[in-house]
Amino acid sequence: MTLLQTETDTGREASGVIADNSYAISAERLVRRFGGVTAVDGVDLRIRRGEIYGFLGPNGAGKSTTVRVLCTLLSPTAGRAVVAGYDVADEPEKVRLRIGVALQEAALDPKQTGIELLRLQGRLYGLSRTAVGRRLADLGELIDIGGALARPIGTYSGGMKRRLDLAVALVHNPEVLFLDEPTTGLDPVSRARMWEEVRRLNRELNVTIFLTTQYLEEADELADRVGIIHDGRLVAEGTPDGLKRSVGNDVIVAHVDGNAEASCKAVEPLAGVRSVEARGQELIVTAADGAAMIGPVAVALGSVAPVHHLTLRTPTLDDVFLEVTGNHILADEPAESDPKPRDLAEARS
Site for other proteins, rule CB under 8 A: 68, 71-75, 93, 96-99, 101, 103, 105-112, 116, 120-121, 123-127, 131, 134-135, 137-139, 141-144, 146, 152, 159, 163, 168, 172-174, 189-190, 193, 196-197, 200-201, 204-205, 341-342
Of 232, 188, 229, the closest CA to residue 210 belongs to: 229
Question: For residues 131 and 270, which CB has a smaller minimum distance to other proteins in the complex?
Answer: 131
Residues in the chain: 349
Question: For residues 309 and 342, which CB has a smaller minimum distance to other proteins in the complex?
Answer: 342
Question: For residues 150 and 330, which CB has a smaller minimum distance to other proteins in the complex?
Answer: 150
State in angstroms the smallest separation of the CB of 48 from other proteins. 19
String of DSSP letters for 107-120: ---TTSBHHHHHHH
Cα–Cα distance for residue pair 302/308, rounded to 1 Å:
10
Strand bridging mode 208-213 / 176-180? parallel
Give the containing element (helix H, strand E) for 67. helix 63-70
Cα dihedral 261, 318, 315, 42 in deg (nearest 10): -120
Question: For residues 123 and 265, which CB has a smaller minimum distance to other proteins in the complex?
Answer: 123
String of DSSP letters for 117-174: HHHHHHHHTT--HHHHHHHHHHHHHHH--GGGGGSBGGGS-HHHHHHHHHHHHHTT--
What is the CA 1 to chain-centroid distance, rounded? 20
Q: Which is it for the CA torsion 155, 161, 164, 169, positive or negative?
A: positive
Question: For residues 168 and 264, which CB has a smaller minimum distance to other proteins in the complex?
Answer: 168
H-type alpha helices, 223-259: 240-247
State in angstroms the smallest separation of the CB of 78 from other proteins. 16
State in angstroms the smallest separation of the CB of 91 from other proteins. 11
Question: For residues 168 and 252, which CB has a smaller minimum distance to other proteins in the complex?
Answer: 168
Cα–Cα distance for residue pair 200/194, rounded to 1 Å:
10
Cα–Cα distance for residue pair 346/134, rounded to 1 Å:
45
State in angstroms the smallest separation of the CB of 93 from other proteins. 5
Question: For residues 77 and 281, which CB has a smaller minimum distance to other proteins in the complex?
Answer: 77
Question: For residues 38 and 286, which CB has a smaller minimum distance to other proteins in the complex?
Answer: 38
- CB of 244 closer than 8 Å to CB of 56: no
Q: Which is it for the CA torsion 125, 130, 136, 137, positive or negative?
A: negative
- CB of 7 closer than 8 Å to CB of 239: yes
